[in-house]
Amino acid sequence: MIKLCRTFAYTFFLMWLLPAGPGWSAGQTDSAASPWLDTEYASVRLISATESVGDASTAQPLKMGLEFQLQDGWKIYWRSPGDAGYPPRPDWSASTNIAAIDMQWPAPVRFSILGFETLGYKHEVVFPITVTPDQAGDAVRLSGEINYLICSEICVPELLTLSLNVPAGPGAPSSHVHLISKYDVQVPGDGTATGLRIEAVELVETPGRNPELLITASSVEGMPFSNPDAFLEGPLDDPGAVGFGQPDVNLDATGLRSTLRVPVIGSEDEMANLQGREFTVTVVDGVRSAEHTTQVALRTSDTALELPRPSSSLVTILLFAFMGGLILNLMPCVLPVLSIKLLGVIGHGGGQARHVRMSFVASAAGIVSSFLIIAGVLSALKSSGVAIGWGIQFQQPWFLITMALVITTFACNLWGWFEFRAPQTVADMGLETATAPGLTGHFMTGMLATLLATPCSAPFLGTAVGFALARGTAEIMTIFLVLGFGLAAPYLLVATFPGLATMLPKPGQWMITLRRFLGLALAGTVVWLLSVLLAQIGTVATAGIATCLVLAAVALYLRYRNAMTVHVVRGIVLASWLGALALPIVPGLSSQNETADASRAVDSLWQPFDIATINRHVTAGNTVFVDVTADWCVSCQINKSFVLARGSVFERLSTETVIPMQADWTLPQDSITRYLATFQRYGIPFNAVYGPAAPDGILLPEILTPGAVMDALDAARG
């Protein structure tokens, strides 16, 4: 059994890489995309977010996209390419029933080669296109020639003709809507939605030096910069008159204010005539971006401008990580693990100090190892371009089913229906007794505790995880290592002072009674996991999985009562496990659409989350309260039950001037993941308040109090 549990632990994280079974489609609808046009270096096509143009009475613009899939090592250029190249130049004159076309540009990346700076895209990019029909409700044909330059060691100009018909019809979403949305949110706006603010753009003239543009940008509400960059275009009345080098980036001690000094390259005449002219500045920091067009002010300096040196906040973040991991032991979603932790202590009553020390070190090692595995998986997912977050494995049905199987087995063990047997090699080491499992069992207990803790966020934890996931692999691994030591700190404390455990009474009849009671706590955890599954795969499939769990438990009980042979029990348990894991993919059994709709349904108080309307509500003088929640987030449910759904907070959220928005993250949704990332947050609970006095949003703590919510609403209103 220990071997089986260990195998489960090794496979838990691989399940993150699997798409959620129900409702997943491997293909795309051809009617909403033009055929791929393949060259030696790239493939290009047009896609539409809808299968048809929609109802004529609504007269809504169409969302379309120009998609490039580039071969490794090849790139195309942004609208302002930098020192060389030119961007894609579409000619849409052959289109029909189109009054206006607006092609937008996602934030680019910088390519620096031998002092030359260019801006563009690699691998994949979709340019979102907003198409306004001339005659609403009639079919639209987007057709044009795309002239673009694609470069690697050499540059190759290409000219392709693309065409896509969008027929008349009700306007149902196509399979490409999420891909277009993914790049649409990467188009730089004014920074309101991403928490970036461009405060000033100044022209600095220092004797004996070329002019420099000094850009001051801030990151609001505790979201430190990770790797900011600035792209300049201008002067707008004479594009290309001057060029710009790579900025010298400096952060203040908090990491919330960035000063970027951009060298200006050009002739003396041009550089001497930049004051008061308009420039467009785009600041990019990871997934966040902001764009601002302004006239530059002049700052003169008798000496070379000295900017503040960058300050590393890694030490502070590591302290936050340790505190977050430690506090995680007390969070509501970790309480189901209490029975495992408690038994880990009382099982050593009257035992030897050496055995206590080794067993608790093994449990701590399981916790730390789990965090390192999580960090490795998240780093790999981030490198592959997958949206990541804290606790995202709870969005995968197979992970939930496996956890339910393992915890059901643990509960049956606590009830005494069977006993774990360690491998012979472990028993030979003398590390297993009649009352305590071997080191492998303690290690697995630590891993299980970590897995059950991951749907929860805690004070300091969100800041640490956000900092880590916005950076590279080294920072992710380091911060998650410290998080693991924080969660493992109570175990290490007992290992340091084993008398805390050995002073307890020796195990006896009282412990058997306690084991049965704590087994009920684990059974409650299984019920919770099934409730999360219910929102993902529907009633029928969840009921089938629950039946498989009950069958396995009944078989173990009958074996305990000597009413069934070992071989028969093993067959029933194995069949039940395989059946539970297979149920989500049985055709027609899962009903994700039904349950997803139910989970997204909001009562009369809550409105569905729509980031595009927040600024409109704020401009109208209203306050917007955003709640990102999920069925698997116990802390979220506690926040709603004890704070948001009662008393003065509920009354305030029910007023006409407050717009409560709820984002359901029970199932994977890239739009919510990206929204959280704009605040450098990758886990929930998450709550933010927007208002006329706080257009960029005020973040609330993970565990809400009525006072904190009311104060934020007052501050945002102004």
* The predicted structure's pLDDT at residue 504: 56
Is 585 part of any domain?
no
Residues 122, 116: Cα–Cα separation, whole Å = 17
Angle, helices 461-469/473-496, rounded to nearest 10 degrees:
150
Residues 47, 65: Cα–Cα separation, whole Å = 5
Residues 215, 48: Cα–Cα separation, whole Å = 37
* The predicted structure's pLDDT at residue 462: 63
Residues 47, 30: Cα–Cα separation, whole Å = 9
670 and 611 housed in the same domain: yes
Identify the band that residue 255 occupies on the pLDDT scale cut at 50, 70 and 90: confident
Higher pLDDT, 465 or 429: 465
Domain-ending residue, one of 248, 268, 300? 300
Domain-ending residue, one of 143, 174, 205? 174
* The predicted structure's pLDDT at residue 88: 95
Domain-ending residue, one of 502, 521, 537? 537
**What phi and psi values does residue 80 have, to the nearest 5 degrees?**
-120, 95
Report, as an integer, the average pLDDT of 612-632: 87
Is 154 part of any domain?
yes
Higher pLDDT, 302 or 132: 132
**What pTM was computed for the model?**
0.46
- pLDDT tens digits, one per residue of 657-683: 999 999 988 777 777 877 887 776 777
Report, as an integer, the average pLDDT of 496-505: 66
**CATH code for the domain in which residue 75 is found:** 2.60.40
Task: For residue 98, give its domain range.
Answer: 31-174
Report, as an integer, the average pLDDT of 29-49: 90
Are 83 and 74 in contact by the 8 Å Cβ rule? The answer is no
119 and 209 housed in the same domain: no
Is 648 part of any domain?
yes
332 and 444 housed in the same domain: yes
* The predicted structure's pLDDT at residue 2: 42
50 and 156 housed in the same domain: yes
Are 106 and 127 in contact by the 8 Å Cβ rule? The answer is yes
List residues bridging with 215 in a β-sheet: 201, 260
Residues 472, 226: Cα–Cα separation, whole Å = 10
Paired tokens of 134: 């001339």
Is 180 part of any domain?
no
* The predicted structure's pLDDT at residue 459: 59
Report, as an integer, the average pLDDT of 240-264: 83
247 and 322 housed in the same domain: no
343 and 296 housed in the same domain: no
Angle, helices 509-537/539-560, rounded to nearest 10 degrees:
160
**What is the number of structural domains in the chain?**
4
- pLDDT tens digits, one per residue of 152-199: 877 788 999 999 999 998 888 888 988 998 898 899 988 887 888 898
Is 514 part of any domain?
yes
Bridge-based pairing state of the strands 62-70 and 196-205: unpaired
12 and 37 housed in the same domain: no
Q: What percent of the chain has pLDDT over 90?
A: 21
* DSSP for residue 94: T
In the predicted structure, residue 23 carries a pLDDT above the cut 70: no
339 and 279 housed in the same domain: no
Is 595 part of any domain?
no
Is 591 part of any domain?
no
Residue with tokens 């509400």: 221
* The predicted structure's pLDDT at residue 227: 83
236 and 109 housed in the same domain: no
Return the SS3 of 716.
Answer: helix
Are 344 and 356 in contact by the 8 Å Cβ rule? The answer is no
Are 261 and 307 in contact by the 8 Å Cβ rule? The answer is yes
In the predicted structure, residue 437 carries a pLDDT above the cut 60: no
* Residue 685: cis peptide before it, omega within 30 degrees of 0: yes
* Residue 235: cis peptide before it, omega within 30 degrees of 0: yes
Q: Which residues contact 359 (CB under 8 A, 6 or more apart)?
A: 344, 348, 436, 439, 442
Q: Which of 542, 549, 520 is nearest to 631 (CA)?
A: 542
**CATH code for the domain in which residue 230 is found:** 2.60.40.10
Identify the band that residue 6 occupies on the pLDDT scale cut at 50, 70 and 90: very low
39 and 154 housed in the same domain: yes
- pLDDT tens digits, one per residue of 508-517: 566 667 667 7
Query: How many other C-beta atoms lie within 10 A of the C-beta of residue 136?
Result: 18
Residues 567, 45: Cα–Cα separation, whole Å = 58
Identify the band that residue 427 occupies on the pLDDT scale cut at 50, 70 and 90: very low
Residues 686, 661: Cα–Cα separation, whole Å = 12
Paired tokens of 479: 């911060």
Query: How many other C-beta atoms lie within 10 A of the C-beta of residue 676?
Result: 24
Is 309 part of any domain?
no
Q: How many helices (H) and strands (E) does the chain have?
A: 21, 25
**CATH code for the domain in which residue 710 is found:** 3.40.30.10
CA max distance for the chain = 97
248 and 329 housed in the same domain: no
296 and 417 housed in the same domain: no
- pLDDT tens digits, one per residue of 524-557: 778 877 877 776 777 788 888 888 888 888 888 8
Query: How many other C-beta atoms lie within 10 A of the C-beta of residue 507?
Result: 21
